[in-house]
Structure 1
């Protein structure tokens, strides 16, 4: 329960810290989509386009080499992921408390998918970054998240804060 409270507090901080992406004029806040269908990326016009993983979709074009757009997308993705991780941890705890093996398996699968999606998104954004500092920071963040091997319980407040600080520093904040 202590981890859930810690994670919830950090989630709130990350969501508030991701401010630049919450100021979008469109006002849309979509949940992250699975890796197979890509992630939302802000277009230069302020609209939203879809980025396809490793496929060079229109969202990749909007982000490619644009450090500000990449930083905004990374902050939004980080905030969305932190929220998902808090929900995943609660889902795991509830399933284990209910002693429902089927629900535990489903919760673990969802958690694994969410962690892998975040790691993939960070790595994908690092490939689009032209700035060497931003590229290295995103790649390192992706490796750190991937090292969790889908286990959201390995995350703690300090690690999430460190990831956010790494991004902030690379983005000049």
Structure 2
């Protein structure tokens, strides 16, 4: 698939609406057939994703072309294991901003996979027309995630309140300089 982003260790394929439905249904066999990735047993959505699955599925059904700007699997190239998810909250908004999110299954945390995925998604997004800013919002108590965005070249741009998370730090990268804002 042309929309798969590849790094040295990872593949980041977009998830289809059918794959998300299989995840909702707990249909591991169908999910693996649709994605080509191996999922852990018992089958569970990537961290922080379970509640959003129906929304993701419905959005992809309404607009399948949004898939590259939506949720992607993080898959290890060497084993084919699905180790997490990452992606954007949609196409660039009217100001050219996209928001990035990511999560890795606990057994695969602290191996640099999230940083590698974020760097790859950031590089991909910076090559897309209309992108002026890539953002990530991180709770100040989430030290591992703060390290990920810092290592990926984002710079702290402020704070905001997010309904389901409370106060979060806003981190950004802009294509004009290739670096974030101070």
- Identify, as 1 or 2, the structure richer in helix: 1
- Identify, as 1 or 2, the structure richer in strand: 2
Bin the TM-score by the shorter chain.
0.3 to 0.5
Bigger relative contact order (CA 8 A; separation at least 6): 1
TM-score normalised by L of structure 2: 0.33
